[in-house]
C-alpha cells in the first residue's frame, strides 16, 4: 500500500461516455482517469499548462494497465482516484480506481514520464513537485 494519500474526483457518467445500451465504453475509463490525474495535479498548485510554461515539462503516459470488474452505467456517480505508488528521477507510477459507492469497477496502474516539451526526452521531475510528493 502506498504511503501517499489518494486523491478522489467525482465524475458523472453522461451519454457521450456510453454505448447505446447505457454501458460505459472501456476507453471512457482512460478519460476518467486522465481527468482525475489532471485535477490531482491542480491540488498541488500546478496545471499541465503551468508545468509547460514554468518548467518546460509535461507528464506523458508511458504505459497503463487496466482491469475491468463491473460496468459503470449511464448517470452513475463515480469516484475516480489517483494515488502515488512509486517514483523515480523522471517517472511516476500511479494507482487509479473507478468506484461506484463501495464497488471497485476498474483498477489501473499508470506509468508516467516527465519529459521536456522541446524534445520529449525524459527529464527530472521538478523539485517543487518532488518535495510535495516527499520523494
Dump pLDDT digits (tens) for 80-120. Answer: 999 999 999 999 999 999 999 999 999 999 999 999 999 99
What residues have CB less than 8 Å from 3, skipping those under 6 apart? none
- SS3 at position 37: helix
Helix axes 26-43, 48-55, angle to 10 degrees: 50
Q: Residues 40-91: pLDDT tens digits?
A: 999 989 999 999 999 999 999 999 999 999 999 999 999 999 999 999 999 9
For the domain bounded by 7-133, which CATH number is listed?
3.10.129.10
Residues for the chain: how many in total?
A: 135
pLDDT over 60 at 2, yes or no: no
Q: Which of 19, 67, 86, 102 is catalytic?
A: 19
Instruction: Give catalytic status of residue 19 as yes or no.
Output: yes
Can you tell me which residue has the cell 494507482? 95
Read off the pTM. 0.92
Amino acid at each position: 500500500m502506498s504511503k501517499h494519500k489518494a486523491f478522489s474526483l467525482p465524475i458523472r457518467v453522461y451519454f457521450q461516455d456510453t454505448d447505446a445500451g447505457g454501458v460505459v465504453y472501456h476507453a471512457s475509463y482512460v478519460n476518467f482517469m486522465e481527468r482525475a490525474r489532471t485535477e490531482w495535479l491542480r491540488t498541488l498548485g500546478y496545471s499541465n499548462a503551468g508545468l509547460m510554461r514554468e518548467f518546460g515539462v509535461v507528464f506523458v503516459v508511458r504505459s497503463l494497465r487496466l482491469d475491468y470488474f463491473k460496468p459503470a452505467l449511464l448517470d452513475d456517480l463515480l469516484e475516480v482516484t489517483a494515488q502515488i505508488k512509486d517514483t523515480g528521477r523522471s517517472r511516476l507510477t500511479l494507482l487509479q480506481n473507478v468506484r461506484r459507492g463501495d464497488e471497485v469497477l476498474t483498477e489501473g496502474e499508470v506509468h508516467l514520464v516527465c519529459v521536456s516539451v522541446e524534445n520529449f526526452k525524459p527529464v527530472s521531475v521538478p523539485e517543487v513537485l518532488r518535495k510535495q510528493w516527499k520523494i
